[in-house]
């Protein structure tokens, strides 16, 4: 056994860690012999010094092996999608039932909010009764019966990552390419997947604002995953503005329901969701090409099959059976709802600041043990080029929080007097793998 402090010191000084050193540290992280302070120091050392490809693989494998690794016996391919996170990134809630409606099985293990971005787990936790942490047997049963199940990371799957994930959130080490790669892939490998599609965000609301950095992360994940025997592709998508016009927890669940039921279909959200889901169907051999996959996914939406799968998943995991019909009745509502208006044309959005404003409202964490107010957030967020005068609608717990959030939202938008002629970047920027 290598002493944790020696592993930290060697990485701090730029040494390449041996597989045994990494395995020993992760074992200590799992059994509690590595302290929270040591885990934070290790994360910071990796953040500044980085890991080589062999170190990255060793870290991923050690974290994967820290708990149970699932094996599936299903009549269709086992698939998943993962996003590096952004603002209004509600894609998972819509994509999983869409892919399931087309013959895939999607056992999706999601995370809590990380840094300034929202977490799929926190969104689902806003649904009354929804069990975000069922046992593995129930997780497998729901996936088998419904076609998809979205839950949080259990204590059985990659428990070392679960501990390190929470520490990264509050120590300024979220953006580490090495730690992101190991965190994502350890969970996915432990879930026993047959295929994975990554959504790597680039832009002002992403952990990797620069396109080059996003490309490096996408290539890292694809390389390590394929090397570990998990067929993986990645799309780099735009996060220079919120993807959905809602940011928060319950408000994003409501947005996803509106999308699945056909009440709302914003073009950029639809484009990203469709592109990622199509990659999954092609990767699994369920469709010959992305055009065929897109047609099948559109049919799953139009027919109501995808919405039905979502409703069944929610009900099987303890949520209300009539959530689609009684969304406003079941989801928590903020007592203060007020519009934020400003004259001019939206030229740019400091998207990360909107995520931080959600945290300020109580919709995110500043410490791992913090609770979350599921009702707060923003809806009707403006996009570049909008000239309606409405920047967004604040959902807050009290007047003071609403005023602070309004000021933050105004500061996040750059306005001009007339259209500047520029167009937004494409929703999907690049494809890797």
Question: What band does 433 get if pLDDT is binned at 50, 70 and 90?
Answer: confident
CA angle 28, 3, 19 (to 5 degrees): 70
Instruction: Give tens-digit pLDDT for 139-190.
Output: 999 999 999 999 987 778 889 998 998 888 788 888 788 998 999 899 899 9
Query: How many Å apart are CA 215 and CA 84, to the nearest integer?
Result: 12
Instruction: Please list the residue range(s) of the chain that carry CATH number 3.40.1030.10.
Output: 79-316
Question: What band does 133 get if pLDDT is binned at 50, 70 and 90?
Answer: very high
* Residues annotated as catalytic (active site), given as ranges: 80-83, 120, 168, 183, 187-188
Instruction: Give tens-digit pLDDT for 115-130.
Output: 666 688 999 999 999 9
Instruction: Please list the residue range(s) of the chain that carry CATH number 3.90.1170.30.
Output: 333-416
CATH number of 333-416: 3.90.1170.30
Range picked from 130-144, 149-163, 408-422 for highest mean pLDDT: 130-144
Sheet containing strand 377-379, strands side by side: 247-248, 377-379, 390-396, 336-341
Residues in the chain, total: 433
CATH number of 79-316: 3.40.1030.10
Query: How many Å apart are CA 82 and CA 234, to the nearest integer?
Result: 9
CATH architecture of the domain formed by 4-50 = Up-down Bundle (1.20)
Residue 227: exposed, middle, or buried by beta-carbon count in 10 A (0-12, 13-18, 19+)?
A: middle
Q: Is the pTM of this model over 0.85?
A: yes
Query: What are the phi and psi torsion angles at 141 (to 5°)?
Result: -65, -45
Residue 253 near residue 363, CB atoms below 8 Å:
no
Question: CB neighbours of 268 closer than 8 A, spacing ≥ 6?
Answer: 238, 243, 383, 424, 427
> Greater confidence, 369 or 372?
372
Instruction: Give tens-digit pLDDT for 86-116.
Output: 999 999 999 999 999 999 999 998 877 656 6
Share the mean pLDDT of the chain: 93
Give the number of other CB atoms < 10 A from CB of residue 37. Answer: 12
Residue 164 near residue 183, CB atoms below 8 Å:
yes
Greatest C-alpha distance within the chain: 65
Number of helices followed by number of strands (H, E) in the chain? 17, 12
Lowest mean pLDDT among 12-21, 128-137, 235-244, 369-378: 369-378
Residue 1: exposed, middle, or buried by beta-carbon count in 10 A (0-12, 13-18, 19+)?
A: exposed
| Helix, strand, or coil (residue 365) | coil
pLDDT computed for residue 421 by the predictor: 59
Instruction: Please list the residue range(s) of the chain that carry CATH number 1.20.970.10.
Output: 4-50
């Amino acid at each position: 056994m290598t002493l944790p402090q020696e592993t930290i010191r060697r990485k701090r000084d730029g040494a390449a860690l041996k597989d045994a050193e990494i395995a020993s540290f992760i074992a200590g992280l799992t059994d509690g012999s590595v302290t929270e302070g040591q885990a934070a120091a290790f994360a910071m050392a990796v953040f500044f010094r980085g890991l080589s490809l062999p170190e990255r693989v060793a870290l991923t494998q050690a974290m994967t092996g820290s708990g149970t690794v699932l094996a599936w016996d299903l009549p269709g391919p086992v698939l998943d999608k993962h996003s590096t996170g952004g603002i209004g990134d509600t894609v998972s809630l819509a994509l999983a039932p869409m892919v399931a409606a087309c013959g895939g099985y999607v056992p999706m293990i999601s995370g809590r909010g990380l840094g300034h971005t929202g977490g799929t787990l926190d969104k689902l936790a806003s649904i009354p009764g929804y069990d975000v942490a069922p046992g593995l047997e129930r997780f497998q049963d729901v996936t088998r019966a419904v076609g998809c199940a979205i839950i949080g990371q259990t204590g059985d799957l990659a428990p070392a990552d679960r501990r390190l994930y929470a520490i990264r959130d509050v120590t300024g080490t979220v953006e580490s390419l090495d730690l992101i790669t190991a965190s994502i892939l350890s969970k996915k490998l432990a879930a026993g997947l047959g295929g994975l599609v990554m959504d790597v965000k680039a832009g002002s609301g992403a952990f990797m604002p620069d396109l080059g950095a996003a490309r490096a992360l996408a290539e890292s994940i694809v390389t390590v995953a394929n090397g570990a025997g998990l067929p993986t592709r990645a799309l780099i998508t735009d996060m220079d503005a919120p993807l959905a016009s809602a940011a928060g927890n319950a408000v994003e669940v409501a947005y996803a329901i509106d999308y699945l039921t056909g009440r709302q279909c914003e073009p950029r959200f639809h484009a990203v969701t469709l592109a990622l889901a199509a990659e999954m169907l092609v990767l699994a051999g369920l469709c010959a090409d992305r055009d065929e996959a897109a047609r099948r996914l559109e049919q799953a939406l139009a027919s109501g099959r995808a919405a039905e799968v979502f409703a069944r998943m929610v009900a099987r995991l303890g949520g209300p059976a009539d959530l689609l019909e009684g969304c406003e009745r079941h989801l928590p509502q903020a007592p203060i709802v007020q519009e934020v208006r400003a004259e001019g044309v939206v030229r740019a959005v400091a998207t990360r600041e909107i995520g931080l404003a959600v945290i300020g409202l109580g919709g995110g964490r500043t410490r791992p043990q913090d609770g979350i107010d599921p009702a707060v957030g923003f809806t009707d967020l403006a996009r570049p080029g909008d000239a309606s005068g409405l920047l967004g609608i604040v959902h807050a717990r009290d007047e003071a929080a609403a005023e602070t959030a309004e000021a933050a939202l105004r500061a996040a938008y750059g306005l001009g007097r007339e259209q500047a002629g520029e167009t937004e970047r494409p929703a999907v920027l690049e494809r890797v793998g």
